[in-house]
Amino acid sequence: MIKRIQEWLSRKDRQEPVEISPDNIPRHVAIIMDGNGRWAKRRGMPRVVGHQNGMKAVKRATIAANDLGVEFLTLYAFSTENWTRPKDEVDFLMRLPVEFLAIELDELIEKNVQVRVMGNTEALPSHTRKAMEEAVARTLSNTGLILNFALNYGGRKEIEDCMRALGKDIQAGILSPEEITSELIDNRLSSSGLPDPDLLIRTSGEMRLSNFMLWQIAYSEFWFTDAYWPEFDKTHLMQAVAEYQRRTRRYGGLK
């Protein structure tokens, strides 16, 4: 009985799909994909099984976002802090993009999805970097949903790199401090070319940002779910969008 109650509690936000308006779909949805390991542990399985099932959720989320008319989907795939995990787990995580793209890239191309990557890809293993570069190159001309992977990404590191680059420009006389604007910083971040996220989703019941898009989410709407990432599906995304549509975005002003 206790186990059944625990299962119900972990799925208490799973409901039938809700009605949403097609006129107020968030352009950019960002997701902190969390809970793979705990999902597996609750089922008595190794953490890597959770990561494998999390890969299936990536496909579901991408298709769901595309169907709803989301223009940009950013997925937090691997943070700069994740390198501190056990080597076997890190090695497995570095193979997942290779496996995912080998299986799904052709379908992403058919659906007109464009793949992008932000983060320090130079530090990735060669097989991971090669798979991502191939996906970016093969989908470059696609004009549909932009699927943006944050891979070896950290918000503080991103801002640090931006400030260092601006400092070098000032030192070289290319730029003056007075010329630094929010727009200029936007263009120097690894998310350059993408609008700021309208909606930030985090799974697994955790309520923190974990160093994700710290500059870009200044006015994003947040939505948290207790569902672990391997459980995430179109219903969850629709619930998040429905909640987004119930809110009034003021950007510090009044409406």
User: Quick one: pLDDT band at residue 15, thresholds 50, 70, 90?
Assistant: low
The per-residue pLDDT for 228 is 98
- Closest Cα to residue 200, out of 74, 112, 105, 100? 74
Query: Which of the residues 13, 23, 24, 34 is marked catalytic?
Result: 34
Is position 36 annotated in a ligand binding site? yes
The CATH number fitting domain 23-243, selected from 3.10.450.50, 3.40.1180.10, 2.70.170.10, 1.10.3720.10: 3.40.1180.10
Q: Answer for the pair 227, 203: CB distance below 8 angstroms, yes or no.
A: yes
Is position 47 annotated in a ligand binding site? yes
Is position 202 annotated in a ligand binding site? yes
Query: Which of the residues 13, 82, 169, 196 is marked catalytic?
Result: 82
Q: What percent of the chain has pLDDT over 90?
A: 90
Q: Could you confirm whether 34 is annotated as catalytic?
A: yes
Is position 160 annotated in a ligand binding site? no
Amino acid at 229: W
Q: Could you confirm whether 211 is annotated as catalytic?
A: no
The per-residue pLDDT for 9 is 42
First-to-final CA distance of the chain: 49
Tokens representing 91 are 């090695």
Is position 128 annotated in a ligand binding site? no
Is position 81 annotated in a ligand binding site? yes
**Beta carbons within 8 Å of 130's beta carbon, 6+ residues apart:** none
Mean pLDDT across 9-27: 73
Indicate if the pLDDT at residue 209 is higher than 50: yes
User: Quick one: pLDDT band at residue 2, thresholds 50, 70, 90?
Assistant: very low
Amino acid at 56: K
Strand-pairing partners, residue 193, are none
The per-residue pLDDT for 128 is 98
Is position 35 annotated in a ligand binding site? yes
Indicate if the pLDDT at residue 188 is higher than 50: yes
Is position 11 annotated in a ligand binding site? no
Q: Environment class of residue 43 by beta-carbon count within 10 Å: exposed (0-12), middle (13-18) or buried (19+)?
A: exposed
Q: What is the mean pLDDT of the chain?
A: 93
Q: Answer for the pair 134, 102: CB distance below 8 angstroms, yes or no.
A: no
Tokens representing 208 are 């923190």
User: Quick one: pLDDT band at residue 17, thresholds 50, 70, 90?
Assistant: low
Q: At 33, phi and psi to the nearest 5? A: -85, 105
